[in-house]
Amino acid sequence: MNSNREGVDVAIIGAGSIGIAVAYYLVRKYGIARIALIDPRDPMSLTSAQSGENYRNWWPHPIMAAYTNDSIRLMEEIASETGNRINMTRRGYALVTRNSDPADLIEDLYRGYREAAESLIRIHRGRRPHETYQPPTSADWESAPDGVDVLCDPELIRKTFPAYAPDVATVLHVRRAGSISGQQLGQFMLEAIKAMGGRVIRGEVLCIEGVMPFDLTIKTDDGPTRLSADRVVNAAGPYLRDVAKLLGEDLPVSCVYQQKIAFEDREGVVPRNLPFTIDLDGQQLTWTEEERAILAEDPATARLTEFMPGGIHCRPDGAEDGKWIKLGWAFNGKASDPREADPIDEQYPDIVLRAASRLQPKLKSYIGRLPRGTHHYGGYYTMTDENWPLIGPMRTNGAFVAGALSGFGTMAACATGSICADWMMGGELVSYAKTLSLSRYDDPAIMAELAALQSRGML
């Protein structure tokens, strides 16, 4: 073992989008230069590489809405500073249902936007003029409206979104939403971190001893080495619990593997100006009688013959003049161990295509004939039961956590990094910071409120 123990101010375990964002805001807000990002893989190459790269400010709880709004504001600052190097677009999120009077969804909107709801929620019905509705004709993030347009007029829906099935009765068009390049965001931050003297250590943390300073033993290609750090951040993504155990702690998180597909839309089925679209309605997949019988015989596939949850999503991927699209459906609810082989399901591309075809019927042309080069991939949603993140102090003095961001890591990375940096440096905390930390589990009122929510914001 290398006995020359180096020292840093902060050791961040995990070089994904969250760990990098913590380091970036330590540099940017507090001038902390001696930072080590430690990861056995290349930066942004595990969960961050599988991101859908979407963002939105809609959540069914005002704290999560405020949190993502703050993160979007920070991304906008970076987009402005860099000439939009992060490729920020804003065509919105279109939440689609066949319910012509979705009172529960509208109630969620008012709950999430709270005091700003009256000015931000615009409901367009047949008896009202629609001049106030701006279709998503531009991807420019600076000119897009805020708030949400609730389209309840079938004629307006058909005119604006002709690719949708004719039975769509309501579209909730969230406007402060769109896409970014998560990889470009991470690379920009890494450059700033390294320019200040921060560095990346390619290795796995095997042991953490002591407290402030901590003594880390790291397995590298050149053999074990040691690193002294005044503070430690657990930003290990799917391995949050493993790192917590090195500190003698546990964290209330689990990992659920979710999958996506991306392929070249050679037939131009999905319009390039379509917002990120989520079909909220559950459904029973269409199978032939023979297919249904075969699926029902196997316990592992029988559920595919039953009523399935909503949440299928689709969006154009890449450049405006490109052809690729992404489809996803986070219907898996079974926890997996990220240390084992990824539980990839070879049937998933067919399943998600069938489900997405209900909303966009022309996608049926790809069932059984996906283009060569289709990318089928997946990543872990590391999440708490309530699907809120963990940001702030751990039980061990000088140790912090930034993780459990399930499917919203890209969109919330900036706010997560900023909040974690404030916790570490004793800076001014945002009003909701404690509620996003482990301390919420000591607050019966907030936990009861979260347990009563019908939606955890998963799309």
- Please check whether residue 439 lies inside any domain of the structure: yes
Q: Are residues 391 and 346 in the same domain?
A: no
- Please check whether residue 78 lies inside any domain of the structure: no
- 92: which 2 tokens? 């919105």
Q: Are residues 23 and 126 in the same domain?
A: no
Is omega for the bond preceding 393 within 30 degrees of 0, making it cis?
A: no
CB-CB contact of 27 with 188 (8 Å): no
- Please check whether residue 76 lies inside any domain of the structure: no
Q: Which of 383, 406, 435 is the last residue of a domain?
A: 383
Average pLDDT over residues 198-202: 97
Q: Which of 383, 404, 425 is the last residue of a domain?
A: 383
Confidence of residue 127 (pLDDT cuts 50, 70, 90): low
Higher pLDDT pick, 234 / 111: 234
Q: Are residues 206 and 139 in the same domain?
A: no
In 3D, which of 348, 367, 358, 332 has the Cα closest to residue 279? 358
Q: Are residues 106 and 156 in the same domain?
A: yes
Q: Are residues 240 and 225 in the same domain?
A: yes
Amino acid at 18: I
Other residues' Cβ atoms within 10 Å of the Cβ of residue 340: 8
Q: Which of 383, 415, 435 is the last residue of a domain?
A: 383
How many residues in the chain? Answer: 459
- Please check whether residue 160 lies inside any domain of the structure: yes
For every residue of 287-324, DSSP letters joined together read: --HHHHHHHHHSTTTGGGGSEE-S-EEEEE-SSTT--E
For every residue of 50-108, DSSP letters joined together read: G---EEE---SSHHHHHHHHHHHHHHHHHHHHTTSTT--B---EEEEES-S--HHHHHH
Average pLDDT over residues 198-205: 97
Q: Structure pTM?
A: 0.94
Give the residue numbers spanning the domain of 365.
Answer: 93-178+255-383
Q: Are residues 141 and 222 in the same domain?
A: no
Instruction: Give every CB contact of residue 319 below 8 A, 6+ residues apart in sequence.
Output: none
Average pLDDT over residues 209-214: 96
Here the CATH number for the domain that contains residue 341 is 3.30.9.10
- Please check whether residue 147 lies inside any domain of the structure: yes
pLDDT per residue over 45-85, tens digit each? 888 778 878 999 999 899 999 999 999 999 999 999 999 99
Q: Are residues 410 and 375 in the same domain?
A: no
d(CA 84, CA 258): 29
Structural domain total, the chain: 2
Average pLDDT over residues 402-409: 94
pLDDT cut 70: percent of the chain above it: 97
Q: Are residues 263 and 122 in the same domain?
A: yes
- Please check whether residue 87 lies inside any domain of the structure: no
User: Does the pLDDT of residue 130 top 80, yes or no?
Assistant: no
User: Does the pLDDT of residue 5 top 70, yes or no?
Assistant: no
pLDDT cut 90: percent of the chain above it: 87
Q: Are residues 285 and 371 in the same domain?
A: yes
Q: Are residues 274 and 165 in the same domain?
A: yes
pLDDT per residue over 310-364, tens digit each? 999 999 998 888 999 999 999 998 999 999 999 999 999 999 999 999 999 999 9
The mean predicted confidence, pLDDT, of the chain is 94
Q: Are residues 372 and 401 in the same domain?
A: no
Q: Provide the pLDDT for residue 3.
A: 47
Q: Provide the pLDDT for residue 131.
A: 63
- Please check whether residue 298 lies inside any domain of the structure: yes
Q: Are residues 441 and 420 in the same domain?
A: yes
CB-CB contact of 174 with 56 (8 Å): yes
Here the CATH number for the domain that contains residue 229 is 3.50.50.60
d(CA 70, CA 187): 21
Q: b or e along 256-281 (b: 16 or more beta carbons within 10 Å of the residue's beta carbon)?
A: bbbbbbbbbbeeebbebebbbbbbbb
